[in-house]
Amino acid sequence: MKKKAILIGVATVLLFALCFAFLQMLLMPKYMSAPYLEGAMIQEYYDNAGGNDVVFIGDCEVYENFSPITLWEEYGIPSYIRGSAQQYIWQSYYLLEETLRYETPKVVVFNVLSMKYDATQSEPYNRMLLDGMKWSPTKVQAVRACIEASERAGVHETFLSYVFPLLRFHSRWSDLGSDDVEYLFSRRTVTHNGYLMRVDVNPVEYIPTPDYLAPEDAQLPAICYDYLDRMTKLCQDNGIELVLIKAPSVLPFWYDVWDAQMEEYAAQHGLAYYNFLDEEHLTASGIDYSTDTYDGGLHLNLSGAEKMSVYFGKILQERFDLPDRRGDAALAAKWQEKADAYYAMEADQRREIEEYGYPVSYALPPES
Amino acid sequence: MKKALFALCLAFGMLLTGCGTTGDTTSTASGGTGTTNIQADTAGFTFTYQGHTFSMHQKLSEVVDAIGEPIAKTSSPNCAGFSGVDWFYNYGAFEVTSYPVDDVDYLSRIRLVTDEVETAEGIAIGSSEADMLAAYGTPTSESSGLYTFEKSRSRLQILVKDGGVSEIDYYAIYD
């Protein structure tokens, strides 16, 4: 009898665990359709980890504005963009730390827009990043940092909800769709080494005047400088060149006083800093806001990303003496596969624009 | 065994329906009160244009209904763009910015851009600092020429340079 009771107990626990695991897989968002594709980005890295000379870290101003395929085709620079939606600097630090468990790039490029955020702006951004990370001591620290950042914003999150995401997404049962079944056990790739492609064009028509920034509000937050210091040290300790950039996105506003702080920081720490909003860079790169953006200048489209990559790739290769690896047959074959998928997606998006007026599988209808 | 299965079903039933937190990936709005019961702040600082009076937290659609579509507009969504966008509308003499709550856009800022328009108290770009202070009295705060006045759920910020008004902004105050 006792043996039977134990067996029933064990079977019940196993059954509970299996059901829990299955429900968690079913109810967690799959991020396979617009406008949530960004949620799939972080976990795509693990199948592409290693062998990258350049790693980009940051928010949509990196994953929409640079093309790793172009960097490879023009300069033989293998690269990956470890981007995520509105990535905060503490997230960038831990992503970088995690990346260094898989590879040691020669250059890390970090977009500095996130220096303006000292707290979580929206909790789903934490989920979209953290739920895609593999568990490691780094992820534990990242979760804690994100929870602290949410507390600063008055949003309460629990560590347990990251260990068991079902606790967070349990009520999604009423929102289940075909993606939840189709992508239950596997995902399709949505990026090209971290680049999220859009080929449509929506030119800049109007740039609003920025809010006045009072002198006492002009200083970038101390906690952001703390993480920037940690990122700088991490790169120094690993022999990596850290490059700071501000991508050529016209919004959110990037104030001159913030730019001056980044210039000063870069000078003090011997880092390169490029503000691609500066006229000299815009002219030299050939960025044209009437053709190279898909959302009125917030993000570049494929045309803009490729122009930026041609321009910045030359800078990276010359300044940091990056080798041209196109002569490596195995690497070339791997990148040829990536390029084939890249151009196939470009063709698919252009076909959808021709047929529907916008890339329906990749974006929501244009805002009216 | 039957009791164990019953307990299991009960546990999952509670898990799927309980706790009260939102389970989907759409976020609450950025800014705003986070509720759907947002009232225009008619008791605060208001702006009148072409006979229509606008106040903070008023629906953006009411502005358009009153004075028509803007000359130009743009939006500033978050990266993934799923939690709503802030709209920027350019009406030439002034600009309007909104914040989203539950798919509805509300006024978060009105900026007077030219001297063709003025505040309800008669202050415009180019007005003297003295006239501005006579109109509004003691500010809530002042720093480096930026005067801030608060009233109800709105804030009026007026920047003075070289003795004259150079910028005028209405801002919504969030609960």
User: How confident is the model at residue B27, as a pLDDT?
Assistant: 34
User: How confident is the model at residue B93, as a pLDDT?
Assistant: 96
Q: Which residues pair with B142 in a beta bridge?
A: B147
What mean pLDDT is predicted for residues B108-121? 95
Tokens representing B92 are 């030439």
**pLDDT (tens digit per residue) in A295-321:** 999 999 999 999 999 999 999 999 999
CATH number at residue A241: 3.40.50.1110
Tokens representing A279 are 């006229």
Instruction: Give residues with Cβ within 8 angstroms of A4, minimum separation 6.
Output: none
CB contact under 8 A, B72 and A206: yes
How far is the alpha carbon of A337 from chain B, nearest alpha carbon, in Å? 27
Does residue A186 fall inside a structural domain? yes
| Partner-chain residue, chosen from B15, B16, B30, that has the shortest CB–CB distance to A121 | B30
Does residue A219 fall inside a structural domain? yes
User: How confident is the model at residue B36, as a pLDDT?
Assistant: 63
Predicted confidence band of residue A272 (pLDDT cuts 50, 70, 90): very high
CB atoms within 10 A of CB A38: 31
Does residue A279 fall inside a structural domain? yes
Contact between B32 and A179 under an 8 Å Cβ cutoff? The reply is no
Q: Which residues pair with A107 in a beta bridge?
A: A54, A241
Greatest mean pLDDT among A95-104, A357-366, B28-37, B95-104: A95-104
| Partner-chain residue, chosen from A122, A170, A211, that has the shortest CB–CB distance to B78 | A122
Q: Does residue A133 surpass a pLDDT of 90?
A: yes
A291 three-class SS: coil
CB atoms within 10 A of CB B69: 10
Of A73-87, A99-113, B21-35, give the lowest mean pLDDT range.
B21-35
Q: Over chain B, what is the mean pLDDT?
A: 83
The string of DSSP letters for A328-342 reads -HHHHHHHHHHHHHH
Does residue A368 fall inside a structural domain? no
Domain that holds residue A64: 31-206+214-323+334-356
For testing contact with chain A, the best of B12, B64, B78, B95 (most A CBs within 10 A): B78
**pLDDT (tens digit per residue) in B39-77:** 999 999 999 999 999 999 999 999 999 999 999 998 876
Does residue A19 fall inside a structural domain? no
**pLDDT (tens digit per residue) in A213-235:** 877 779 999 999 999 999 999 99
Cα radius of gyration (chain B): 22
**In the block, residue with structure tokens 């929870």:** A147
Q: What is the side-by-side order of every strand in the sheet holding B94-101? A: B72-77, B85-90, B94-101, B104-112, B164-172, B154-161, B146-151, B141-143
How far is the alpha carbon of B50 from chain A, nearest alpha carbon, in Å? 22
Instruction: Give residues with Cβ within 8 angstroms of A325, minimum separation 6.
Output: A53, A76, A77, A78, A331
Contact between A119 and A153 under an 8 Å Cβ cutoff? The reply is yes
Sign of CA dihedral B19, B20, B21, B26: positive
How far is the alpha carbon of A280 from chain B, nearest alpha carbon, in Å? 25
CB atoms within 10 A of CB A70: 24
Tokens representing A347 are 């063709």
How far is the alpha carbon of A169 from chain B, nearest alpha carbon, in Å? 4
CB contact under 8 A, B27 and A170: no
Q: Does residue A271 surpass a pLDDT of 90?
A: yes
Percent of chain A with pLDDT over 70: 99
Which residues in chain A have Cβ-Cβ distances shorter than 8 Å to B1?
8
User: How confident is the model at residue B77, as a pLDDT?
Assistant: 66
Residue in chain A closest to B9 (alpha carbons) equals A16
The C-alpha atoms of residue A204 and residue A202 are separated, in whole angstroms, by: 7
| Partner-chain residue, chosen from B25, B85, B97, that has the shortest CB–CB distance to A127 | B25
**In the block, residue with structure tokens 């003295």:** B130
**pLDDT (tens digit per residue) in A58-79:** 999 999 999 999 999 999 999 9
Predicted confidence band of residue A262 (pLDDT cuts 50, 70, 90): very high
Greatest mean pLDDT among A173-182, A324-333, B24-33: A324-333
Number of independent structural domains in chain A: 1
The C-alpha atoms of residue B66 and residue B91 are separated, in whole angstroms, by: 12
In terms of phi and psi (left: phi > 0; alpha: psi -120 to 50; beta: otherwise), the region of A157 is beta
Does residue A363 fall inside a structural domain? no
